[in-house]
Amino acid sequence: MQKYLAEFIGTFWLVLGGCGSAVLAAAFPGLGIGFVGVALAFGLTVLTMAYAIGHISGCHLNPAVTLGLWSGGRFPAKEILPYIVAQVGGGIVAAGVLYLIASGKAGFSLEGGFACNGYGIHSPGGYGLCAAFVCEVVMTAIFLFVIMGSTDSRAPAGLAPIAIGLCLTLIHLVSIPVTNTSVNPARSLGVAIYEGGWALQQVWLFWVAPILGGVVGALLYRVIACQKKA
């Protein structure tokens, strides 16, 4: 239960910190942090939690990471479901807290998207379904490749959280205009539940593409690492 609670809290922080920066601070008049600030916020949530709970649960915070690590031979199958339940729960509760905070301002409306992920008319840059799918698959694959490599026993000790956090920041810098950046099904579902409508209709892509990408990235690293050992 310690591991599952750690995953719940960690995912809660990722969604509250990352999506919160997008909803509350990105476009704040005169002082908005913009895309760069939001990208950095997501990276910092992972970096800080990796140091806080990495030694307890591994700090997955993401169903795509959990399934990717399993496919890469780093995680037992029996732990997959409870990890994903904890992650999704943390994301939903965080989105609820964010909604309570954001709705405390006069004139608040969900029409701004509530940091949801989308494609077509709901993509920040108007990118279609195919572009969104490819982007999410590739970005998540690279994310798992970096996670696998930076946590390899042969990698420099203690630096994995920095590499992983910076990787997630870079992923957001590239893909916010395309899908508002998911690479994390728990993050996508959490806010989509409160947005409803179109967000829930499109959330399937932000489960399928990140999970596919995570598995591909982990398997790719596994092949390269095995070749190197040989």
Neighbour-count burial of 181, counting CB atoms closer than 10 A to its CB (0-12 exposed, 13-18 middle, 19+ buried) = buried
With cut-offs at 50, 70 and 90, classify the pLDDT of residue 229: very low
What is the DSSP secondary structure assignment for residue 24, as one 8-state letter? I
Task: List Cβ neighbours of 223 (8 Å cut-off, separation of 6 or more).
Answer: none
Does pTM surpass 0.85? yes
Query: Which ranges of the chain would DSSP assign to H, the alpha helix?
Result: 2-20, 34-57, 63-71, 80-102, 129-150, 160-179, 185-195, 198-202, 205-229
Total Cβ atoms within 10 A of residue 121: 8
Tokens of residue 213, six digits: 């990408």
Assigned token pair, 119? 């494609």
Average pLDDT over residues 29-52: 95
Contact yes or no for 224/149 (Cβ under 8 A): no
Domains in the chain, ordered, with CATH? Answer: 2-229 (1.20.1080.10)
pLDDT (tens digit per residue) in 57-116: 999 999 999 999 999 999 999 999 999 999 999 999 999 999 999 999 988 888 878 999
Residue 228 pLDDT: 53
Alpha-carbon distance of 219 to 57, in angstroms, equals: 21
Average pLDDT, the chain: 95
pLDDT in tens, 100-147: 999 999 888 888 789 999 999 999 999 999 999 999 999 999 999 999
